[in-house]
Amino acid sequence: MSTPPFSPAEARAARLRMGMTREQVATEMTQLGVWLRPQRVKAWELGTRVPSETELFALADVLWCPTPVLMSLRPRTLGHHRLPRQLTRERLAHRIGMEIHAYARAETERRRHGEERQTRALAWALGTTPEHLRETIGRIAEVIRLLAQAVESRWKSRLAPLAELAEVDKRRVQYALGVLRQEYTRITERYMGHVVAGSAEARLREIADERARWLTRLPEHFWELVGHADVAALPVLSGRGSASR
């Protein structure tokens, strides 16, 4: 399972606003049933580790801080809408009367499975409307389609529509696509290298599974890269040639 969006800076700022030490944060989280050491809190604030969903919920409670503040990210996926309401997949699935594996598949595949009643129940649980939920899922699906095309073929023609759908600066999208294409190319070249070398079938399946997992996490990785891009250090796009291919 992928980790939730998290802002180390916001977490540290929230702790300092409360006048708490990392030891106090760890102690109070343990009292909430989430056992950890102060070193874990330090790692979160340094950005070397990311809390799990359960840890994120407990940290927000301890710091008296809204979960979306610690996420520091505009909700753009089903998971992002779920986390601010401090709902695990299991609790949300139970609330809307849906099998956990079915909901998990819907969240992972970024498309709805189930009947209209469940769509309305899901919208209510997430604090939105069925119409907005369907629109959100439709936009997510389009972003995923464009991302898959961008990493597998020419990316420039997908730059403008992705920036528009994501509602972010084109330079952030260009940076994210550059990193994603490099990662995808490395995985593909490694696979082809083993094919040429006549590697064992098990090794080929291992790399193929790695590629499948990478593609599954593609949207989350895209938003992470977009959010962490240093705009000041990115080149200014000319406006005409940036989406020419």
Residues contacting 239, CB < 8 A, separation 6+: none
**Cβ distance 215 to 148 under 8 Å?**
yes
- In this predicted structure, what is the pLDDT of residue 236? 57
Report d(CA 31, CA 61) in Å as an integer.
11
pLDDT at residue 1 above 70?
Answer: no
**Cβ distance 28 to 62 under 8 Å?**
yes
> What's the average model confidence in pLDDT over 180-201?
86
Spelled out in words, what is the top-level CATH class assigned to the domain 78-128?
mainly alpha
Domain 8-71, what fold? 434 Repressor (Amino-terminal Domain) (1.10.260)
The residue that leads in pLDDT, 243 or 4, is 4
Domain boundaries, the chain: 8-71, 78-128, 153-243
The token pair that represents 97 in the structure block: 């009367």
9-37 pLDDT per residue, tens: 889 988 998 899 999 999 999 999 999 99
- In this predicted structure, what is the pLDDT of residue 243? 40
- Global pTM reads 0.51
Rounded alpha-carbon distances, angstroms, from residue 221 to 144, 163, 176, 177, 224: 11, 15, 9, 10, 5
Radius of gyration, alpha carbons of the chain: 20
Q: Please check whether the two domains, 8-71 and 78-128, share a CATH topology.
A: yes
